């Protein structure tokens, strides 16, 4: 695989993107309808969350048939047409592969329950459970029918972990990957793929709820190389990304180094835990800027120096909207949205845009627990009550941290249900859709800023290929970094706060050009006063004080006006 580092990925949560049937659930034909919109934005690949047959206990991450389409989303002909229409617009598709576990309604598990020893070996079944905890709360073990034994489920009890040590399991899963490759898919996102390396015999692990016993085990690298060789590794144009749960920098370098032939890149989530009080998700606390900056710098530098590659993102289907977490959205939503975008799109790695991010969508601001459907959120609410929290406090925590925050319907226009559906949406629309929607914002400063960032990555090797070096590490409110490629340098300054801050510009940049800014009056000088949530990128070339033929001006509008 030879990764094209100029590419930008757009994530669609299919249930919530566009419904064309009126049943309240997004579908393939809705995606087909909006492909021109995605082409206008400029993205190269669309990652789809699971659309396979599923009982929907975990919003499709509990798969009951890996090689079929859930009729909720359409049929296989719709899927194939969607892939073809995408290619006409130079957009490829990346599918979610959930290969750590399958639904207990999957044929494999049902045959195992019926006593078939061949399929029982597809799972982890023991006489006694270990002390491991499920990531959704409670024990990671559940009774295996009426046998007196227990099966492992690191997530919901209806998601049984698959035994990758079994050659037959690997063969079946590699068939799945190749089935979708044959459908024209050009990318895969592998869900919690660093959890597949369990030991043959599972034992107690009191540390960190058992995570060290099954996370980033060395054999995972062997499995990934096997899968690479048996499936996508022969296609240089393929893109793969591994979702890495509670991972380490050292392992992500290994997972993503091209010479190891494992994956193209990795997701990690450490930067999205900086507003976890005492490391606990179900809490409400201001984000820790020093920790955020330190994480971005350490990961950016390490991956750059050692040849790894990161998937860069602020939002996805499992996270509250970054704007609510990191920005004063009452006063600076647009400035904050563009600053957050620049902080990753100008960095080293492949940027991912989550649907609605490009228009500055925010959390839904629901009124009661009755509005939520996410199993993790409902379980967490009950857990918080059991811990002694009052109903109002527990609800406020769910409001801040629920996965449903990002799963609300895409806001297309100001009509009922945000233009998502003529029926009742499976999840209630957010309150902001009358003001924040594509129809209002497709010519607005956030969308056009994203277009500019995407074009810059395609046109300027310093952005797609350059190295990463931390800058202004002592600043209490500016996250800054330098990129370098051949004789070019780029300094990116991001003010993470709603107050101005002055910085002394290094001499090498004082004769540079402004590549992009989210304020119209940005200038280069010895001292720069960064405005609230301002992002500013300054470019220099050793052999030219100006970019030849006004190249930057032709690529994008240098300054965005709010």
Residue pLDDT, tens place only, 287-311: 999 999 999 999 999 999 999 999 9
Per-residue pLDDT tens for 343-373?
999 999 999 999 999 999 999 999 999 999 9
Which of 19, 58, 191, 452 is an active site residue? 191
Read off the pLDDT of each residue in 196-215 and give the average, rounded to a whole number: 96
Per-residue pLDDT tens for 48-73?
999 999 999 888 999 999 999 999 99
Per-residue pLDDT tens for 402-433?
999 999 999 999 999 999 999 999 999 999 99
Instruction: State what percent of residues in the chain have pLDDT above 90.
Output: 94
CA distance 344 to 468: 12
Q: Is the pLDDT of residue 545 over 60?
A: no
pLDDT of residue 549: 35
Per-residue pLDDT tens for 141-176?
999 999 999 999 999 999 999 999 999 999 999 999
The pLDDT-based confidence of 376 (bands split at 50, 70, 90) is confident
CA distance 529 to 523: 9
Read off the pLDDT of each residue in 213-240 and give the average, rounded to a whole number: 97
The pLDDT-based confidence of 553 (bands split at 50, 70, 90) is very low
pLDDT of residue 83: 98
First-last CA distance in the chain = 41
Q: Is the pLDDT of residue 555 over 70?
A: no
Q: Which long-range contacts (CB under 8 A, 24 or more apart) does 52-56 make?
A: 54/103, 55/103, 55/105, 55/158
pLDDT of residue 59: 83
Read off the pLDDT of each residue in 265-280 and give the average, rounded to a whole number: 95
Which of 243, 335, 441, 482 is an active site residue? 243
Q: Which tokens sit at 508?
A: 């090498």
Q: Is the pLDDT of residue 524 over 50?
A: yes
Q: Is the pLDDT of residue 1 over 70?
A: no
pLDDT of residue 544: 54
Q: Which tokens sit at 167?
A: 């050659």
CA distance 510 to 526: 6
Active site residue 526: no
Q: Are 489 and 537 in contact (CB under 8 A)?
A: no
Q: Are 315 and 357 in contact (CB under 8 A)?
A: yes
Q: Is the pLDDT of residue 537 over 80?
A: yes
The pLDDT-based confidence of 24 (bands split at 50, 70, 90) is very high
The pLDDT-based confidence of 557 (bands split at 50, 70, 90) is very low
Q: Using CA of residue 215, residue 216, residue 222, residue 223, what is the dihedral sign?
A: positive
Mean pLDDT score of the chain = 95
pLDDT of residue 136: 86
Read off the pLDDT of each residue in 372-377 and give the average, rounded to a whole number: 90
* Full DSSP string of 400-450: HH-THHHHSPP--SSSGGGGS-SS--SSPPPTTTTTSSHHHHTTSHHHHHH
pLDDT of residue 542: 79
Active site residue 243: yes
Instruction: State what percent of residues in the chain have pLDDT above 70.
Output: 96
Q: Are 311 and 265 in contact (CB under 8 A)?
A: yes
Sorted by sequence, the CB contacts under 8 Å of residue 450 that are 6+ apart come out as 41, 42, 341, 345, 353, 357, 358
The pLDDT-based confidence of 550 (bands split at 50, 70, 90) is very low
Q: Are 57 and 136 in contact (CB under 8 A)?
A: no
Q: Is the pLDDT of residue 518 over 80?
A: yes
């Amino acid at each position: 695989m030879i990764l094209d580092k100029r590419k930008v990925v757009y994530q669609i949560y299919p249930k919530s993107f566009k419904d064309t049937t009126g049943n309240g659930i997004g579908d393939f034909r809705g995606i087909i309808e909006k492909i021109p919109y995605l082409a206008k934005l400029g993205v190269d690949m669309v990652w789809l969350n699971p659309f396979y047959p599923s009982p929907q206990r975990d919003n499709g991450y509990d798969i009951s048939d890996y090689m079929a389409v859930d009729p909720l989303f359409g049929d296989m002909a719709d899927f194939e047409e969607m892939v073809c229409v995408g290619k006409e617009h130079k957009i490829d598709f990346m599918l979610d592969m959930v290969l750590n576990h399958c639904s207990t309604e999957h044929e494999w598990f049902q045959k195992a329950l019926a006593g078939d020893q061949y399929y029982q070996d597809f799972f982890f079944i023991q006489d006694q459970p270990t002390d491991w905890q499920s990531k959704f709360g409670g024990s990671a073990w559940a009774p295996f029918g009426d046998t007196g034994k227990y099966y492992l489920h690191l997530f919901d009890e209806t998601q049984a972990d698959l035994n990758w040590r079994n050659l037959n399991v690997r063969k079946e899963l590699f068939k799945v990957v190749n089935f979708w490759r044959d459908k024209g898919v050009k990318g895969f996102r592998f869900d919690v793929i660093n959890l597949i390396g369990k030991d043959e015999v599972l034992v107690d692990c009191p540390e960190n709820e058992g995570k060290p016993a099954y996370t980033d085990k060395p054999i995972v690298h062997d499995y990934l190389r096997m899968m690479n060789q048996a499936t996508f590794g022969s296609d240089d144009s393929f893109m793969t990304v591994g979702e890495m749960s509670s991972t380490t920098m050292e392992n992500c370098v290994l997972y993503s180094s091209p010479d190891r032939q494992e994956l193209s890149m990795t997701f990690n989530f450490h930067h999205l835990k900086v507003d976890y009080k005492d490391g606990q998700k179900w809490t409400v606390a201001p984000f820790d800027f020093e920790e955020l900056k330190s994480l971005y710098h350490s990961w950016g530098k390490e991956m750059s120096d050692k040849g790894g590659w990161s998937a860069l993102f602020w939002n996805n289907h499992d996270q509250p909207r970054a704007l609510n977490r990191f920005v004063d959205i009452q006063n600076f939503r647009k400035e904050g949205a563009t600053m957050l975008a620049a902080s990753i799109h100008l960095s080293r790695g492949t940027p991912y845009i989550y649907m609605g991010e490009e228009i500055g969508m925010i959390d839904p601001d629901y009124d009661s627990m009755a509005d939520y459907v996410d199993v993790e959120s409902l379980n967490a609410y009950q857990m918080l009550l059991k811990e002694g929290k009052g109903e109002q406090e527990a609800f406020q925590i769910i409001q801040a941290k629920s996965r449903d925050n990002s799963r609300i319907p895409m806001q297309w226009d100001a009509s009922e249900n945000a233009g998502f559906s003529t029926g009742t949406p499976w999840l209630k629309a957010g309150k902001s859709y009358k003001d924040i929607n594509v129809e209002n914002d497709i010519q607005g400063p956030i969308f056009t800023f994203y277009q500019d960032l995407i074009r810059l990555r395609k046109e300027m090797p310093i952005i797609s290929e350059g190295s990463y070096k931390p800058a202004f590490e002592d600043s209490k409110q500016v996250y800054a970094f330098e990129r370098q490629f051949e004789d070019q340098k780029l300094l990116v300054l991001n003010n993470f706060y709603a107050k101005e801050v002055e910085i002394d510009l290094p001499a090498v940049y004082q004769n540079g050009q402004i590549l992009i800014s989210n304020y119209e009056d940005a200038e280069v000088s010895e001292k720069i006063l960064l405005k609230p949530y301002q992002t500013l990128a300054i470019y220099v070339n050793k052999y030219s004080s100006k970019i030849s033929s006004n190249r930057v001006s032709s690529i994008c509008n240098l300054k965005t006006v709010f």
